[in-house]
Amino acid sequence: MAAGNGQGDRRVRVQEVGPRDGLQNEPRTVPVGIKVDLIERLAAAGLPAVESGAFVSPKWVPQMADSEEVFRRIERREGVTYPALAPNMKGFERAVAVGVTEVGVFAAASETFSQRNTNCTIEESLERFRPVCAAAREAGVKVQGYVSTVLGCPYEGEIDPGTVADLCGRLYGIGCYRISLGDTIGVGTPAKAAALIDRVAEAVPIDALGIHLHDTYGQALANTLACLERGVRTVDSSVSGLGGCPYAPGAAGNLATEDLIYMLDGLGMETGVDLDAVAAAGAFITGWLGRTPASRVAQAFAGRKAA
């Protein structure tokens, strides 16, 4: 891929979501100490953003019930952001109380998915976010807006790119500084991903767009490349491909951070991330979970080490 002209075109911001999105559906409770160790390992690897918790109801996401304690215990590195989900005012207040400087709110491009995931309509979700964005401006806290099911919904099928663009524009308009486009069930293909970026970029500046891709059909890396070629420079990924979605039957884990960094390094893109350190962090958490990493690069590294 041609990296484009100028230094900025070669820089890609990789946002690590493993400690939150990757672990939130684990049936076995991950202790605070393990979460803190993972977060600190990932930050030390050079990742500029490590999503570290979620201030949501413990009834719905019990794995994130200890987010306050996680934020109290992590040793924060200069230059690293530690975002957390805070989709309503109660969650926002809890997050700010422990020093969170960037929060995420999440909507869906599918009405049915919105009802299943957040128990409200798309319009109602936007109304919940308005006071969060207003309070965040007052507190000097950044807000990122996540949009789920942008390339397909498990209940409604294909989603109109115009619907996605309209929702993204509204989130940007109420104060979300970045909009992350989520292929929640991983059904996208490069052509569809590129077309979606072009359509959404009519409503939101390209430098305010990010992507959050799942790898259900093995298309996450190819889709990422297609989005990079359209100008996207913020990519979410999860160490060792951890993750999934309880409201999206059959959805696989996120794009693996190891695989993403390996590809970006090969393209000559600049991330500032140490691939070996990320792979070590992935080996740490998958070892604790007792599973093999989903990342092909991590598997290759492990095989090379064994040899």
Is position 120 annotated as part of the catalytic site? no
- DSSP letters of the chain? ----SSTGGGB-EEEE-IIIIITTT-SSPPPHHHHHHHHHHHHHTT-SEE--EE-S-TTT-GGGTTHHHHHHH--PPTT-B--EE--SHHHHHHHHHTT--EEEEEEESSHHHHHHHHSS-HHHHHHHHHHHHHHHHHHT-EEEEEEE-SS-BTTTBS--HHHHHHHHHHHHHTT-SEEEEEETT----HHHHHHHHHHHTTTS-GGGEEEEEB-TTS-HHHHHHHHHHTT--EEEEBGGG----TTSTT---BPBHHHHHHHHHHHT-B----HHHHHHHHHHHHHHHTS--S-HHHHHHHHHHH-
| Residues annotated as catalytic (active site), given as ranges | 245
